[in-house]
Amino acid sequence: MRITLVTECIKRLAPDVEIRISEPMRKHTSFRIGGNAEIMALPRTEKEAALVMRACRICREDFFVLGNGTNVLAAENGIDCIVIKPMMTDLRQIGETTLYAQSGVLLSKLALEAMKLGLTGLEFAHGIPGSVGGAVFMNAGAYDGQIKDVVVRTDYIDEDGVLKSVSEDEQEFDYRKSFFSQREGLLITGAVFSLKKGNVQEIKEKMDDLMAKRKASQPLDLPSAGSTFKRPAEGYAAALIDRAGLKGLRIGGAEVSTKHAGFIVNAGNATSEDVRKLMHQVQERVYENSGIWLEPEIKFLGGESR
């Protein structure tokens, strides 16, 4: 009854939006883990997204905005909030050295487009598997590059369904934080990227070099959510985990990667509980060894976070 009422409410307000019932979350996360989302809405425009959010408020339903699912661990017992997965993919040049990308655009696609236009600044993002929305939300970064270095404006829908923007320092970027990660009920719709002129061949060579480093050092052949833990104030999570002798530690199908200790991988039919238990054991063992408590970088969806 509840699912029918919520679905009908969304359809009344946004009749063209795609709605999926009992959608397997494992199809939408890089971990390939997760039970079913009771309701998943996939808006393709800002207007549709705002109307879906309005329907959630009318029905007094919580919602979770899902990007490309590369930093999410979804619970096996299902997701009872409304999952909103924006499918907005507009990508265009709006100035000589400026690009606009909607939240559903993959970072890899954005980086390639910048390269084709001879614009430098996004090389670090080429191998990050997330979407623009998720990357802005968590200020994604790699190889000394961060989203905060190139995003000058972010557009979003607020709690009242109004399209707004934050610019420059208003975006409150910090290590794996942003204006959006510190607030609830917002949905990122797009961002403006300010880049610099560069040489296409040099940009391509840098991107190829970074990708080669990723392949050599990261377990890209197994499902994971990237770096499992945030970088602590002292040292690096991977080094601390390695020093504690935890490479290869396994619970069920979840394993601390033998290639890169900072990754927990789905080594074979892992459940969300396998990953949670392994993460907690890693936290405890690293704390015993170094006195440092590692903070998860992964976002938990459903179930209880550690």
Show the CA angle centred on residue 259, arms to residues 254 and 262, nearest 5°.
65
Q: Helix crossing, 107-116 with 200-217: angle to 10°?
A: 150
Per the annotation, the verdict on 176 as an active-site residue is yes
Single out the catalytic residue among 131, 224, 227, 272. Answer: 227
Q: How far is CA 190 from CA 45, 205, 207, 244, in A?
A: 11, 28, 23, 41
The answer to whether residue 297 is catalytic is yes
For residue 40, the SS3 value is strand
Q: How many Å apart are CA 270 and CA 32, to the nearest integer?
A: 9
Q: Find the catalytic residue in 76, 172, 273, 297.
A: 297
Contacts of 66 (CB under 8 A, 6+ apart): 28, 40, 72, 83, 84, 85, 301
* Distance linking the first and last C-alpha atoms of the chain: 33
* HEC secondary structure over 230-266: CCCCCCCHHHHHHHCCCCCCEECCEEECCCCCCEEEE
According to DSSP, the β-strands at 72-74 and 299-301 are parallel
Q: Which helix (H) or strand (E) holds 123?
A: none
Measured over the CA atoms of residue 46, residue 51, residue 54 and residue 59, the dihedral's sign is negative
26, 176, 276, 285: the active-site residue: 176
Q: Catalytic residue at 295?
A: no
How many Å apart are CA 252 and CA 250, to the nearest integer?
6
Residues with catalytic roles: 176, 227, 297
